[in-house]
């Protein structure tokens, strides 16, 4: 997912209200849509708001499977799996609201610094534990890659989503 910090060229402008979310900035864009930093105006918390591309939602079966997977993933409770707060539709646009993780992707981290064996082990174990938890619930993550793993000070998250702690 490419990174950005202002409004998207084809997406929601900064300051836009979408459903009960206030768009703060574009975090990135990729094949699965655009992701925004937003404020949930009901619960007064920051969220990552993923807006699904229209072509993704035109296929009824694909949309049904996506909604079913989101419902299953939202039932997971694991320290290395991103929490899903909401799925819905507003203005004929489908969205997912998830926990916002402030950090960097594993891809960005690897591009900026060489990981030592301890870091690699820690991140790998956390990803494996998160995937094992998801698999035990019948959920298969079909797109594990460094862009879908978020690293933060206390943990790492994957885009189901996974969290990892980098050792001191």
Do the strands 104-105 and 93-99 form a parallel or antiparallel pair, or are they unpaired?
unpaired
Output the CA–CA distances (angstroms, integers) from residue 135 to 71, 83, 94, 139, 142, in the order listed: 15, 16, 26, 5, 11
Q: What is the C-alpha to C-alpha distance for residues 27 and 4, in angstroms, rounded to an integer?
A: 5
In this structure, how many other beta carbons lie within 10 angstroms of the beta carbon of residue 158?
Answer: 25
Burial class of residue 139 in the structure, from the number of CB atoms within 10 Å of its CB (0-12 exposed, 13-18 middle, 19+ buried) = middle
Q: What is the C-alpha to C-alpha distance for residues 15 and 21, in angstroms, rounded to an integer?
A: 10
Annotated catalytic residue 40: no
From the candidates 40, 86, 91, 143, which is the catalytic residue?
143
Q: Which residues are catalytic?
A: 143
């Amino acid at each position: 997912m490419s990174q950005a910090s202002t409004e998207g060229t084809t997406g929601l402008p900064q300051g836009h209200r979408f459903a009960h979310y206030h768009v703060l900035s574009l975090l990135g864009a990729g094949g699965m849509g655009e992701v925004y930093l937003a404020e949930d105006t009901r619960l007064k918390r920051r969220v990552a708001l993923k807006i699904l591309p229209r072509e993704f939602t035109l296929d009824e079966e694909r949309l049904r499977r996506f909604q079913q997977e989101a419902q299953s993933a939202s039932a997971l409770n694991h320290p290395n799996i991103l929490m899903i707060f909401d799925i819905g539709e507003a203005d004929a646009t489908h969205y997912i609201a998830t926990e916002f993780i402030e950090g960097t992707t594993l891809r960005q981290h690897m591009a900026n610094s060489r990981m030592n064996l301890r870091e690699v082990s820690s991140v790998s174990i956390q990803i494996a534990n998160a995937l094992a938890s998801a698999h035990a619930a019948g959920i298969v993550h079909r797109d594990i890659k460094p862009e879908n793993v978020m690293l933060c000070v206390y943990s790492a998250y994957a885009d189901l989503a996974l969290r990892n702690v980098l050792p001191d």
